[in-house]
Amino acid sequence: MLWISSQLPARELPPAVPPPEAISFHLPVVQRLSNGLRILLIERHDVPLLTLYAIVGKGAEADPPNLPGTAEMVAGLLPEGTKMRSAAQIAQAIDQAGGTIDTGAGWDESYANVSLLSDHKELAFDLLSDMLIHPAFAPQEIERLRRQTLSALDIVDQDPSYIADLVLRRFLYEGTPYAHSEDGTPESIRHITRKDLVRFHARNYSPSRTILAVVGDITDQQCLALATRFFGQWRNHSSSHSETSIRLPAPRGRRVIVINKPDAVQTEIRVANLAIPRSSPDYYALTVANQVLGGPAANRLFDTLRTRRGLVYGASSDLKCYSTIGAWVAKTSTRSSESVNATEMMLRQMKRLRTHAISGQELEMAQSYLVGHEALEFEPPSQIADRVLELMMYHLPLDYWNHFAQHIRSLSTADVLSATQKYLHPNDDVIVLVGDVSAFRNKLKKLGPVRVVPIAQADQVFPQLEKGTAAYSESRE
């Protein structure tokens, strides 16, 4: 018989874990063609794969003011035919090479990626350059994509989360090129013409704005030779160099917009402030503050709303940083009757970040998570390329990530408090609720001046309509 002594000491606490190590990776060499195209190579010869990532430094922020969705439609049409290949020929070529093509547009960039077996190096450069430089914008392909986009918009038109994000964007970024839907609206998608697409491409797609990241089984000499051969003749147009400055919105006081969805059993909640561009030196401190407020792992919003009160399934916050502007957005959803209570709790947590320093333990936990998680972002070569492209796009030094851990760990609680006091302004925030207003109408005035709009009119809710309205107004269905 085996006897177990009751005198054995039990470990009451988990073993101490050493702090995560900072990342360190070999900086890729960036080369530049005579037309301004920048090229970076990340060699990986362990598998016979090759991926080309092309980033054009203009995206949805460059949409014409009356035609949101143009950048996304242009990017979506790149693989749907060029002046030399039909859509079917492009699809057949990439399939036979065992590859994939991915295109799209973000807010500050448009992109096109080609991935295939490294035996087809020449084809990769050929296809990518053809799509970027010679898109056909064939009328039949435009109409097909138009139908697909309208169908997708019709589906999300009743999605409370999508509507909350859309209305928030319109009000938060009012007066800037970021105050619209990158997907477009049904009206704008119906009105975009082939001429609009060609004009957007000619104005914004140019080698001087493009970065080509090459990752995989290829040598430096092969990469430069193929890039020169297929991209070297790409020319910059005079119109492609014109830039527009962005005037940041002035403080407007708190604005509360409620989108009434009578059949909703939950309310989507968004609370946001304007924040910083990606290149701001305050990015480190605000990243720590955001981690404490609503970042992954333990955070104050989840602890307050979920753990202590059981009002939500999840709560989070995001620091969204673009080239010239940014936002700090807290979000959650809760049952209709608790909509205002949950919103007030979020506001109190955000105000607390501005009035009281975070604890030393919170700082240490946030620092450890951010440093440790950053290392995971450099596992596959594709993520390394993404991280380096981010630096180049936002004009940050290439050794930025090698020093990221040092910057994060050097922060004090006072540094974080200083940043939140500088950028977190609860009296100038934008609050958006999407839900059944009848369940919380009598509490709405606690939040401030409110406007209630039927969900059927959500596409028509714009800040300029608010001028001259009463502190509390409601559109009737």
Count of residues in the chain = 477
- Residue 360: inside a domain: yes
Query: Is the same domain home to 397 and 334?
Result: yes
431 - beta bridge partners? 256, 271
Q: What is the pLDDT of residues 104-148, one digit of tens each?
A: 999 999 999 999 999 999 999 999 999 999 999 999 999 999 999
For residue 140, the enclosing domain spans 30-239
Q: Are residues 179 and 279 in the same domain?
A: no
Q: Which residues of 316-345 are buried (b: 16+ CB within 10 A; e: fewer)?
A: bbebbbbbbbbbbbbbbbbebebbbbbbeb
Q: What band does 466 get if pLDDT is binned at 50, 70 and 90?
A: very low
Residues 215 and 342 in one domain: no
pLDDT digit string (tens) for 273-309?
999 999 999 999 999 999 999 999 789 999 999 999 9
CA angle in degrees (0–180, nearest 5) for 213-102-388: 25
User: What distance in Å separates the CA atoms of residue 78 and residue 102, rounded to the nearest whole number?
Assistant: 9
C-alpha–C-alpha distance, residues 110 and 25, integer Å: 26
**Predicted confidence band of residue 253 (pLDDT cuts 50, 70, 90):** confident
- Residue 211 and residue 329 in one domain: no
In a domain, 73, yes or no: yes
| Residue 303, in any domain of the structure | yes
15 pLDDT band, cuts 50/70/90, is low
Which ranges in 21-68 belong to alpha helices (H)? none
For residues 180 and 318, state if they share a domain: no
21 domain-assigned: no
> Would the CA dihedral through 45, 48, 49, 52 be positive or negative?
positive
Q: Token pair of 101, please? A: 């093509």
In a domain, 286, yes or no: yes
Quote the mean pLDDT of the chain: 90
Domain co-membership, 282 together with 408? yes
* 148 and 178 assigned to the same domain: yes
Judge whether residue 210 has pLDDT over 50.
yes
| Mean pLDDT, residues 173-185 | 94
**Residues 107 and 186 reside in one and the same domain:** yes
Comparing CA positions, the residue from 449, 415, 447, 435 lying closest to residue 163 is 435
Mean pLDDT lowest for which of 235-244, 248-257, 275-284, 382-391? 235-244
Residues 232 and 264 in one domain: no
Q: For the chain, what is the domain count?
A: 2
Q: What digits encode the pLDDT tens for the residues 437-458?
A: 999 999 999 999 999 999 999 8
pTM (2 d.p.): 0.89
Query: Can you say how many angstroms the Cα of residue 58 is from the centroid of all Cα atoms in its chain?
Result: 14
SS3 label, residue 344: helix
Give the residue-averaged pLDDT of 53-60: 97
> What pLDDT digit, counting tens, does each position of 83-115 carry?
999 999 999 999 999 999 999 999 999 999 999
C-alpha to C-alpha distance for 410 and 370, rounded to whole angstroms: 13
> 229 and 316 share a domain?
no
Is residue 428 located within the same domain as residue 333?
A: yes
What pairing do the DSSP bridges indicate for beta strands 210-216 and 266-274? unpaired
Q: Note the pLDDT of residue 1.
A: 45
Helix (H, G, I), strand (E, B) or coil at 138: coil
Residue that is last in its domain, among 206, 239, 272 = 239
**Domain containing residue 262: CATH number:** 3.30.830.10
